[in-house]
Chains A and B, each alone.
Chain A
Amino acid sequence: MTRDGLGLLAANACFLAAGAGLSRPLGLWRSPHELPAVLAVAYVAGVAAVGIGATLLLLAGLALTVWQVLLLCALLAAAGFLPVSLGASLDAPLPSTRSVRRLAAAVAALLGIYLLGLLARSWYEPLFHWDAWAMWTLKARAIVLLDGLDLRVFAADAYRSLHLDYPLFVPALEAIDFRFMGRIDTRVVDAQFWFLFVGFLGAAAQLLRDRVQAVVLWPALLLLGIAPSLAIQLRWSIADFPLALFFGLAGLAGWRYLESGRAPFAALLALFGGAAWATKREGLAFVVLLYVVLLVFALVRRAPVVPLVLAGAASLVAILPWRIWVRAHDLEPAELPLGKAVNPSYLLDRTDRVGPALSGLAEQAFKPGWWLAVLPLFLVATALALRSRNGRPLGIFVLCLVGLMFASLLWAYWGDRPEIDQHVAHTARRVVTSALVVSGLFLPLLAAQLGRHEPQSRDLSKE
Chain B
Amino acid sequence: MIVALGGFALAVLLAWQVVVVGAALLVWRLARREAPSRAFAFLAAAILAAGLATFPLQLARAAKGARDARRIGPRAAELFGGAGRSFSVNSVERARQAIPPDATYFLDVAPRQGGSAMRFWTRGWLLPRIAVDSPEEADWIVSWREDPRRLGIPLAEVRMVGPRTWVARVQR
Contacts and interface: CB of A to CB of B under 8 A. Distances in A.
Do these two chains interact? Answer: yes
Contacts of B65: 121, 125, 235
B37 to A, nearest CB: 5
B63 A117 contact: yes
B127 interface: yes
Counting chain B residues whose Cβ lies within 8 A of the other chain, the interface size class is: 35 or more
Contacts of B121: 133-134
Interface string B72-107: 101011101110000000000000000000000001
A126 B72 contact: yes
A221 to B, nearest CB: 8
Nearest to B70: A124
Given A231-B61, A380-B43, A126 B130 contact: no
Contacts of B78: 126, 186-187
B43 A372 contact: no
Contact of B50 (A141, A145, A372): A372
B51 A124 contact: no
A158 B132 contact: yes
25 contacts: A100-B30, A114-B58, A120-B70, A124-B69, A124-B70, A124-B72, A124-B77, A126-B72, A126-B78, A126-B80, A134-B120, A138-B120, A145-B127, A158-B130, A162-B123, A213-B31, A215-B44, A226-B58, A368-B1, A369-B1, A372-B53, A373-B50, A444-B47, A446-B43, A450-B40
Interface of B: 1, 26-27, 30-31, 33-37, 39-41, 43-44, 46-48, 50-55, 58-59, 61-63, 65-66, 69-70, 72, 74, 76-78, 80-82, 107, 117, 119-121, 123-124, 127-128, 130-133
5 nearest A-B pairs in the assembled complex, by CB-CB distance:
A117-B62, A133-B81, A451-B35, A451-B40, A126-B80
Interface of A: 1, 96-97, 99-100, 103, 107, 110, 113-114, 117-118, 120-121, 123-130, 132-135, 137-138, 141-142, 145-146, 150, 152-153, 156-159, 161-162, 186-187, 213, 215-216, 219-220, 222-223, 226, 228, 231, 235, 368-369, 372-374, 377, 380-381, 384, 388, 443-444, 446-448, 450-453, 460
